[in-house]
Structure 1
Amino acid sequence: MSEKARLAPEELSALVDDGQRQKLRMLLNEEHPADIAEWLTDLDNSHRLSCFRLLDLDNASAVLAELEPETQGNLLKDLGDIGVVPIITRMSPDDAADLLAELPKEKVQQIINQMTDTEAKEDIQELMGFEEDSAGGIMSTDYLAVEGKLTADQAISYLRETYAELEDDIYDVYVVSEEEKLAGRVTLKELLMAPPEALVESLMDDNVIKVLTTTDQEEAAEKLSRYDLLTLPVVDESGKLRGIITADDVIDVLWEESTEDLFQASGITGEAGDLGEQLSLSVRRAVGARLPWLLITLGIEAGSVSVITHFDSVIKETVAAASFMPLLSGVTGSVATQSTCITLRGTGIEKLAWRVIIKHVFHEARVGMLLGILCGIATTLMSLMFHSVNPALGFVVGCSLFVTMTCGVLIGTLMPMVFQKAGIDPAHASGPFITSILDVCTMTIYLTIVHQFLLYTTMSVVK
């Protein structure tokens, strides 16, 4: 369908109100499911239901999988069990399991009990038994597998019958034993190019990258990306092949994980989601998601207030020195955030060995010291511009910035690693949390240096 023919939600509503069902049916079923889902999201419940009922079963199942959880729930409620079951049956098992996971257990059981497709029912129930954020929770049970004792010709004949039942295009064929344990992998191309009488086990690669059903979804996504795989097999503890993770599953995982990390780094708790999901939250829930870390930040920043109050006499004696406090706090916070960001890229996927940690810390320490020297010199020159009658002040500020930036880099580097080793998501170590800690450290270091300098010099003060 051309771009010009695309309809706005208001036009869809008008077609529904005018009773132009046939035209609307034709327009909707020619569109991509993702586009239809976007349109339906903007409609009210009544018009959304009317449009959804005009979709054929295949389109309806694909569109339902694309909708946000809240919209899915509203549609399922309006459709009723009788209307939902045929659509759920047409969905891929992993999409159906994700959809049903958002519903109350009683509702899920009612829908499953009405399903007549035994295989689909068993696949969905199996997938719902895994943790949502595990490899088992995101895997698909649609995959190609053959026994190693088959010849290439026999395997191709078997796959020709099986392939038609799959929802996705798959190019990897997994080789299993009689007990369905994963033994190797062979591509469709290798099967087609092999002599007809060649045994599959002689063609397979037995060094297969795989994950357990209990593996965290982020680790599984990282493996598929690292080894440039199209699919990643998932096995249970006995080695039995249970499913595969595909590239589109990984895209969803990476989006979800990056959004979650962004929210945590910003001090927002609870479920991560896009703008639409966040806007759907009630004001009370939105406040509840943001308040905890703000209160923690408030408590830590009270330390800064305490430090400044403690050095009140120093600030009164050196008013000019106080004017540089925002500069030190801002620059130190920025360099610490940079180090935290770099460290998070290394700790967000897998556990780090102590050897790697020590190497990274020393590297960042050297970077921080050099940055501190350069920024300290620049700050000293800046101080001479604004307070030329008191050159000693520039030296004090420059030295302080060197120390605070070095400390900032170390804190920004170590904090995510400490969180990782403690089993806490390292994303919590960034954002408001680390900024507040650095404010306390920066004020303490700076005012202590100024105080010590005053004790042993006769520094002139510009008031």
Structure 2
Amino acid sequence: MKKTLNIKNREEFTYYLFLYLKKNEKENFRTEFMELHPTDQIDIFKQMSKEKRKRVYDYLEPIEFAEIFQGLSLTEQKTVFAELEDEFALNMLNELAADDITDFFGQIPDSVASYLLSRMDKKEANNIKLLLSYKEDTAGSIMTTEFITLSAKDNVTAVMEKLREEGMDAETIYYLYVTNEEDKLIGIVSLRELIISPSDELVENIMKEQVISVSAFADQEEVSTIIKDYDLLAVPVVTSEEKIIGIVTVDDIIDVMEEETTEEIGQFAAVKGALDLNVNAFTATKKRLPWLILLLFIGMLTAGLIGGFEGTLAEVAILAIFIPLIADMAGNTGTQSLAIVVRGLALEKLDRKSIIKLLKRETLTGFMMGIVCGIIVTFITLILPNTSLTLGFIVGISLFITILVSTLTGTVIPLIIDRFKIDPAVASGPFITTINDIVGLFVYFSIATSLINYL
């Protein structure tokens, strides 16, 4: 039985494992290390120096190390793979799932990948070549070809025997796929249904004929949505003739969702491509600087706007105190609404009816937030020295209008951009903030200028 470490004993356990490595006590290391849960094995392995890692390669079998290797990031895999002996590396690759090998091969030079494929098990190599042939971000590129198929005429006893023989080589055995003589997918059986069925029951009597499947060319986000909506552990990938060629499992979809979330966060903050901690400062600068330069020119509009009201500021200098307040509240309010809309669009929850409901809700929300914040800032203004009721009114009503308009801007702009089939996250964050800064300050100075005679 595998042992799971808690935070308290992890450091102590790691210390003794490192000590065994240092003293070259292979059996003690293997005894303790192989009892650990794979997640703990991976965490401890990541803490090892190059010297310790090389000793681990000597102590473990390729099949044992494969489980550690597949749990590493692609960057870590490339570092580790370069340290392995050729024979050990090839044997380990043959133990990995096809989709894991495909992900790794996609990150190394084509010449190296071709060399490794030429030396791998022929059947495994052909599966990898098939997966590599599909366009990135499609179901075909993230599927695995290790699944179990059944005949409708098999009985439960025969299926259970097949699982004992082939189960270890399959990615998952929770779903088994029923095919006909032409290899077309005609049904699906879950392991649960097999266990609770009589041993002489035929597969055709317990299988479900309504199978949810995807094309190999379907976008990975579409596959993610299907697995999430139908609460599946895996979804079969089929050809145009309905022949099953692979499956996409939920663990692969979790990786996809993590990638998509990272990408959207990068777009939201205008730092797309710079969130990877492994990129150097020059690359991060190259990714982020163009956005900042663009926003710099847009921000010049703010400076020009303030310059246009120079006379108002010169006459009532105290107005300058509230510029950061108006600008910050405009940006913050717009970003809140933007986050709600972008998430709704990403989850495909915004149809025509929902959009109308959202617009009504955000308008009312902006109205109420504007009133509350406007009243609060009005009273705060009256407490300050050298202020008047008119100044409090100007700041309060300006903040009210700014919050209301910014809420609507943050809601409407991503909806409009989405209609043009552009990712709404691209128009988010800094853009909405800059636009709302300009709108907020224009409202503020316009009201102040019109009421300057009462100040």
Q: Given the two structures, how large is their TM-score scaled by the length of structure 1?
A: 0.87
* Counterparts of 2:100 and 2:274, CA distance in 1: 19
Q: Which residue is 1:98 aligned to?
A: 103
Q: SS at the partner of 1:418?
A: helix
* Counterparts of 1:166 and 1:7, CA distance in 2: 36
Q: Report the RMSD for the aligned CA atoms in angstroms.
A: 2.8
Q: Which residue is 2:262 aligned to?
A: 259
* Counterparts of 1:340 and 1:5, CA distance in 2: 42
Shift of 1:188: 2.5
Residue 254 of structure 1 aligns with an amino acid whose one-letter code is M
* Counterparts of 2:98 and 2:263, CA distance in 1: 25
Question: Is contact 1:340-1:430 (8 Å) kept?
Answer: yes
Change (3 A) 1:432 1:231: same
Change (3 A) 1:191 1:12: closer
* Counterparts of 1:213 and 1:351, CA distance in 2: 25
Q: Which residue is 1:309 aligned to?
A: 307
State the aligned residue count.
450
Question: Is contact 2:326-2:437 (8 Å) kept?
Answer: no
Q: Which residue is 2:339 aligned to?
A: 341
Q: Which residue is 2:454 aligned to?
A: 459
* Counterparts of 1:380 and 1:425, CA distance in 2: 39
Residue 112 of structure 1 aligns with an amino acid whose one-letter code is L
Change (3 A) 1:15 1:348: same
**1:35 equivalenced with 2:40 (yes/no):** yes
Shift of 1:331: 1.8
Q: SS at the partner of 1:324?
A: helix
**1:242 equivalenced with 2:245 (yes/no):** yes
Change (3 A) 1:195 1:82: closer
Q: Which residue is 2:112 aligned to?
A: 107
Question: Is contact 2:270-2:429 (8 Å) kept?
Answer: yes
Question: Is contact 1:38-1:67 (8 Å) kept?
Answer: no
Question: Is contact 1:339-1:412 (8 Å) kept?
Answer: yes
Change (3 A) 1:135 1:309: same
Deviations 1:8-41 (A, max 9, x none): 8787666545444443344433333333333333
Range with bigger deviation, 171-180 or 149-158: 149-158
Range with bigger deviation, 252-261 or 198-207: 198-207
* Counterparts of 1:387 and 1:357, CA distance in 2: 46
Residue 301 of structure 1 aligns with an amino acid whose one-letter code is G
* Counterparts of 1:199 and 1:9, CA distance in 2: 51
Range with bigger deviation, 416-425 or 124-133: 416-425
Identity of aligned residues (%): 32
Question: Is contact 1:184-1:208 (8 Å) kept?
Answer: yes
Q: How does 1:357-368 map to 2 (within 5 A)?
A: 357-368=355-366
Residue 340 of structure 1 aligns with an amino acid whose one-letter code is L
Change (3 A) 1:59 1:154: closer
* Counterparts of 1:196 and 1:51, CA distance in 2: 45
Shift of 1:308: 0.8
* Counterparts of 1:317 and 1:20, CA distance in 2: 83
Q: SS at the partner of 2:451?
A: helix
Q: SS at the partner of 1:323?
A: helix
Q: Which residue is 2:175 aligned to?
A: 172
Shift of 1:150: 4.3
Q: SS at the partner of 2:40?
A: helix
Deviations 1:387-434 (A, max 9, x none): 675211222222212221122112211233334333333323332222
Question: Is contact 1:81-1:111 (8 Å) kept?
Answer: no
Q: How does 1:311-330 map to 2 (within 5 A)?
A: 311-330=309-328
Change (3 A) 1:238 1:415: farther
Q: Which residue is 1:140 aligned to?
A: 144
**1:406 equivalenced with 2:404 (yes/no):** yes
Range with bigger deviation, 39-48 or 248-257: 39-48
**1:231 equivalenced with 2:234 (yes/no):** yes
Shift of 1:108: 0.3
Change (3 A) 1:18 1:159: closer
* Counterparts of 2:239 and 2:274, CA distance in 1: 28
Q: How does 1:409-420 map to 2 (within 5 A)?
A: 409-420=407-418
Q: Which residue is 1:65 aligned to?
A: 70
Listed as ranges, the gaps of 5+ residues in structure 2 are: none
Shift of 1:125: 1.7
Q: Which residue is 2:223 aligned to?
A: 220
